[in-house]
Amino acid sequence: MAEGNLMRQIPKVDSLLAMSCLSGHSNATQAAREELELLREGIRAGTISAIPSMEELAERVLARLEQEEIPSLRPVINGTGVILHTNLGRACLSEAAVEAVAKAARGYSTLEYNVEKGSRGSRHDHVASLICRITGAEAACVVNNNAAAVLLVLSALTKGKEVVISRGELVEIGGSFRVPEVMEQGGAILREVGTTNKTHLSDYAAAITPETGALLKVHTSNYRILGFTETPSLAEVVELAHENGLPAIEDLGSGALTSLEPYGIWDEPCVQSSMEAGADVVTFSGDKLLGGPQAGIIIGKKRYIEAVKKHPFARAMRIDKMTLAALEATLRQYLDPAKTREIPVVAMLSAEAEKLREKAEGLFTAIGEIPGTEIAVAATEGQVGGGSVPTHTLPSWAVSLLPQKGPEYLEEALRSVNPPIIGRIYKGRFLLDVRTLFERDFSHIAESLHKVLE
Ligand SMILES: *Cc1c(COP(=O)(O)O)cnc(C)c1O
């Protein structure tokens, strides 16, 4: 049919809005206009040769309205087995932390108010003593994230001074956070020593001059140099720094508050050991291995922490009340080992393979049979993620699916359900690793699989 003819058949916005299924939708006008415009474009492009029925058009407007109601930032189901998945929001908060956030957000709070004295208080006080109690530090303060913490510490303590660091620790974290550039932005002068694979204590010693402001250690969270390697321990660097009247600073990155050795992870230091080694200032993340909200935690000797708190950046990087609430609640859980295990990151890290196999069987049973799809429980390997413990894989269990239409089809289809389900394709099969799944989502997973595969 000729283009002009088709154009004349396009219904008026008002007659489309009068369709019964759209009555009661106050914001349908815009959606109806957009749908009709799409029709015009299609006619002009020659891809539409007949005008759909009014019922069909009304359905499309309705679908458009429903789509618009889905929030942009919304939950997803993580079946990747990567615990601290950077793209999926890193650490999931504990129930206690979630409750604390809701309470702080809903009304007024003691954020900067001292109830006993009836006067102004400090927002750092809510968590500082807890952090000191758990880590053994003298003093503590918190900012928005660990990248901010590093920048703030360098700005406050080493501006205009040389900072000595091993060439093996000039890390890029991702999102263009590179240690050399952060040092430059913090006003410090990079003094790199040693080589990529080997740095000796004598290299640090030789670099110390009257211009030196600090010795810096950066934990190579997201990579490991293996083989012919050497680097002095934090304790040795601390001793050298103190002999020269300098502070030893460490960017620990991941910030585990419990030893990961019981979970078979031997090469991830915990915050307490940095304190025991005598570091003057240590920074780490709140939402990596600690399992709390996004935050940067700065701990160490009182005089340095006081200097950090007074720097103007501290105000620009300050943590908000919801984060503080979540952080305090999470830290409290570290005071009691039973409650520590309720922190999702800790629970996921410590889940035993046998328990995960049972969990995978539970999901397998919930899914049941799907005609045309091979479904099995399979052993797999997960990861800590978030740039933490990169060389370590976690033995895990998954439900493995092979639909007739192929694993790529399933991977894409599950991203379009709400909430989306994210898995991964491994050796031609679609895997849902149960380590990072919550049992409360099993019925949604099962229903979605039937919906997209049948
Ligand atoms: C992750 C990490 C950072 C950045 O921490 P964020 O909390 O993501 O800002 C900095 N340094 C190291 C060594 C890290 O591992």
Q: Could you report the per-residue pLDDT of 129-185, keeping only the tens digit for each?
A: 999 999 999 999 999 999 999 999 999 999 999 999 999 999 887 777 888 888 888
DSSP string, 387-407: TEEEEEEEEEEEEEEEETT-H
Sequence-ordered list of residues with C-beta below 8 angstroms from that of 252, at least 6 positions apart, any chain: 219, 269, 271, 274, 282, 283, 284
Residue 149 Cβ < 6 Å to ligand 1: no
Decide whether any atom of ligand 1 lies within 6 Å of the 218 Cβ. yes
Q: For residue 89, what pLDDT is reported?
A: 94
Per-residue pLDDT tens, the chain, 454 aa: give them.
Answer: 577 888 999 999 999 988 888 887 888 899 999 999 999 999 999 898 899 999 999 999 999 998 888 999 999 999 999 999 999 999 999 999 999 999 999 999 999 999 999 999 999 999 999 999 999 999 999 999 999 999 999 999 999 999 999 999 998 877 778 888 888 888 999 999 999 899 999 999 999 999 999 999 999 877 777 888 889 999 999 999 999 999 999 999 988 998 888 877 777 889 999 999 999 999 999 999 999 999 999 999 999 999 999 999 999 999 999 999 999 999 999 999 999 999 999 999 999 999 999 999 999 999 999 999 999 999 998 888 877 777 788 899 999 999 999 999 999 999 999 999 999 999 999 999 999 999 999 999 999 999 999 9
**Dist CA 181 CA 100 (whole Å):** 36
CB 397 within 8 A of CB 360: yes
DSSP code, position 255? -
| φ and ψ at residue 160, rounded to 5 degrees | 75, 0
Which residue's CA is the closest to the ligand 1 atom numbered 15? 253
* Dist CA 367 CA 399 (whole Å): 10
Distance 148 CA to ligand 1 centre (A): 9
DSSP 356-381: HHHHHHHHHHHH---TTEEEEEEEEE
Testing ligand 1's pocket by substitution, the residue of 142, 146, 183 carrying the most ligand atoms inside 8 A of its CB is 146
pLDDT at 226: 81
Strand pairing category for 373-385 and 248-253: unpaired
Distance of CA 284 from the midpoint of ligand 1 (Å): 7
| Buried/exposed code over 312-328 (b: 16+ C-beta within 10 A; e: otherwise) | ebbeebbbebbbbbbbb
Q: Residue 388 CA: which ligand 1 atom is closest?
A: 15
Distance from the alpha carbon of residue 309 to the mean position of ligand 1, in angstroms: 20
Contacts of 175 by beta carbon, 8 Å cutoff, 6+ apart: none
Ligand 1 centroid vs 278 CA: distance in angstroms? 21
Which ligand 1 atom is the nearest neighbour of the CA of 218? 13
171 within ligand 1 shell (Cβ under 6 A): yes
Per-residue pLDDT of 203-215, as tens digits, reads 999 999 999 999 9
Beta strands 281-285; 296-300: pairing state: antiparallel
Ligand 1 mutation target, pool 223, 285, 389, most atoms within 8 A of CB:
285
At residue 389, the pLDDT reads 78
What is the number of helices (H) and of strands (E) in the chain?
A: 19, 16
CA 51 to ligand 1 centroid distance, Å:
55
The percentage of residues in the chain with a pLDDT greater than 90, rounded to a whole number, is 78
In the prediction, which pLDDT does 1 show? 55
Is residue 296 within 8 A of residue 313, CB to CB? The reply is no
CB 314 within 8 A of CB 152: yes
What are the structure tokens assigned to 32, written together?
């109806």
DSSP 8-state secondary structure symbol assigned to residue 210: T
How close is the Cα of 142 to the center of ligand 1, in Å?
Answer: 14
Residue the block writes with tokens 């990169």: 390
Q: Is 146 in the pocket of ligand 1 (CB under 6 A)?
A: yes
Nearest Cα residue to atom 7 of ligand 1: 146
d(CA 102, CA 414): 30
Residue with the nearest Cα to atom 2 of ligand 1?
Answer: 253
- In DSSP notation, 133-144 reads HHH--SEEEEES
Is there a contact between 421 and 415 (Cβ–Cβ < 8 Å)?
yes
129 and 135 in contact (C-beta within 8 Å)?
no
**Closest to 374 measured CA to CA, from 426, 415, 430:** 430
Measured in Å, residue 386 CA sits from the centre of ligand 1 at 9
Distance in Å, CA 202 to ligand 1 centroid: 28
- What is the Å distance from ligand 1's center to 153 Cα? 14
CA distances, 427 to each of 334, 406, 431, 452 (Å): 39, 12, 10, 21
Whether the Cβ atoms of residue 197 and residue 231 lie closer than 8 Å to each other: no
- Rounded to whole angstroms, the Cα distance separating 439 from 258 reads 25
180: helix, strand or coil? helix
Q: How are the residues of the chain apportioned to helix, strand and coil, as percentages rounded to the nearest 5?
A: 45, 20, 35
Enumerate the H helices of 263-301 as residue ranges.
Answer: 271-276
